[in-house]
Amino acid sequence: MLDKNSLSVLKVLNKLADADYKVITVEEIVPSLTAKSQLTEDDVKHVMEFLFKQEYINIKFSEDNTYCYCILPKAKQLLEQNSTKKTTRNKPNILNYLIIGISAFVGTILALIIFYYI
């Protein structure tokens, strides 16, 4: 599993990537990151190397601050899972709680009536 910084860099790379290899500089990545991550150019370089070693991206070549990369299926699957996790969060439904409460109340009353006459 990736940490927050690696995941944010991977999201930016995915957003900027085409279907095939893309040439990009670190200076293009840093402004696209969120303000919370506050990664420097060196940090982004380390994250890119980490993503390459973990087989989330494939780097064809890298020179100084320039990378030629493509997103691998493993990364696409991870990003897809993260996006679906956030959207499938269940909110408590008040109607369900109301029906459960009324059913419990009616069941209790029926049980009391049955035991009273037995």
Residue 29 — very low, low, confident or very high, per pLDDT cuts 50/70/90? confident
**pLDDT grade, residue 84 (50/70/90)?**
confident
Q: Which of 107, 10, 23 is nearest to 64 (CA)?
A: 23
The structural architecture, per CATH, of the domain 4-91 is: Orthogonal Bundle (1.10)
CA torsion sign for 32, 33, 38, 43 is negative
Q: What is the mean pLDDT of residues 21-30?
A: 88
Residue environment code for 65-82, b if the CB has 16+ CB neighbours within 10 A, otherwise e:
eebebbbbeebeebbeee
pLDDT digits (tens, 9 = 90+) for 89-106: 567 788 889 999 999 999
pLDDT, tens digit (0-9, with 9 covering 90-100), for 43-83:
889 999 999 999 999 999 888 889 999 999 998 898 888 87
State the pLDDT at residue 28.
87
Local structure of residue 96 (DSSP, 8 states): H
Strands of the chain, DSSP E: 22-25, 57-63, 66-71
Q: What tokens does 95 get?
A: 């109607």
Which pLDDT value is given to residue 100?
94
